[in-house]
Structure 1
Amino acid sequence: MKYLILIYSNPESRAIWERFSPAERAEGLGAYEALDQELTASGEMIASEPLDAPAKGKRVHVTEGRTLTTDGPFAEVKEYLVGFYLVECADEDRAVRIAAKVPEAFMGLVEVRPVIDMAALA
């Protein structure tokens, strides 16, 4: 089954990151690198990407055949999406174990959601 592991940030977690020394930042990034390698080796990795700042996003709205865009951010929110892992693994328990290895998990900023199998709905 596929699971999307969503990684969030907020002002508190951002402030912690900014206070890290270069060595601490390297260690944090190393945790992602190690997780990427583990998931690639196990065959569970489908995709993993960091996301740019919400302010760099665009909202897309189509009305009367015209496409309109608005610069982000779109809402005043406390937490915002900063990255994800898309994995295929045996079950939700395994997805949760993977999510627990994401550094932001210590702050409760990681979410696991199952991906709907559209073929099964047909």
Structure 2
Amino acid sequence: MQYMLLLYLDETAWPTMTPEQQAEGIAAYGAYIEALTKSGALVGTGRLQPTHLATTVRLQDGKPLVLDGPYADTKEQLGGYFLIEAPDLDAALAWTARCPTVSHGVVEVRPIWPMSG
């Protein structure tokens, strides 16, 4: 079964980190990606641009309304994701516990709802 690991973090923290702290963070995520890849669990991953570059679309009176910025103003922002393959939720949670984001943010784990087609 596939699970989406949604990474929420304070996107203003990265620019305030020292180059050494940033290098440690990059190395931690690199090691996590390597472990997922070697195990065959990694399906996909991505890092998102900052929320000030987001565009929100909703319908208003039946017509698309396009707004700059995120839908909600929150302390933590969706900053990236991992799509993994795991036999069950317990295995997905075990991978999540190893994700570097849990040390400085929140990871939401959601099973993928298979679409029939």
Verify same fold: TM over 0.5.
Answer: yes
Number of equivalent positions = 117
| Structure 2 gap segments, 5+ residues each | none
State the secondary structure of the residue aligned to 1:74. Answer: coil
Structure 2 counterpart of 1:43, from 40, 44, 48? 40
State the secondary structure of the residue aligned to 2:98. Answer: coil
Please tell me whether the aligned partners of residues 76 and 105 of structure 2 are also in contact (alpha carbons under 8 angstroms).
no
Amino acid corresponding to residue 54 of structure 1 in structure 2: T
Whose helix fraction is larger, Structure 1's or Structure 2's? 1
Q: In the alignment, is residue 2 of structure 1 matched against residue 2 of structure 2?
A: yes
> 2:16, 2:76 → 1: CA distance?
19
Query: RMSD in angstroms over aligned alpha carbons?
Result: 2.3
Amino acid corresponding to residue 28 of structure 1 in structure 2: G
State the secondary structure of the residue aligned to 1:109. Answer: strand
> 1:19, 1:62 → 2: CA distance?
37
Q: In the alignment, is residue 104 of structure 1 matched against residue 101 of structure 2?
A: yes
Task: Measure how far apart 1:18 and its partner are.
Answer: 4.3
> 2:105, 2:48 → 1: CA distance?
19
Amino acid corresponding to residue 51 of structure 1 in structure 2: L
> 2:80, 2:27 → 1: CA distance?
15
Amino acid corresponding to residue 41 of structure 2 in structure 1: E
1:55-94 matches, cutoff 5 A:
55-62=52-59, 66-94=63-91
Deviations 1:49-106 (A, max 9, x none): 0111111111123567754311013222222100100001111111111111222212
Amino acid corresponding to residue 69 of structure 1 in structure 2: V
Name which of structure 1's ranges 22-31 and 66-75 shifts more when overlaid on structure 2.
Answer: 66-75
TM-score, normalised via structure 1 length? 0.80
Amino acid corresponding to residue 115 of structure 1 in structure 2: I
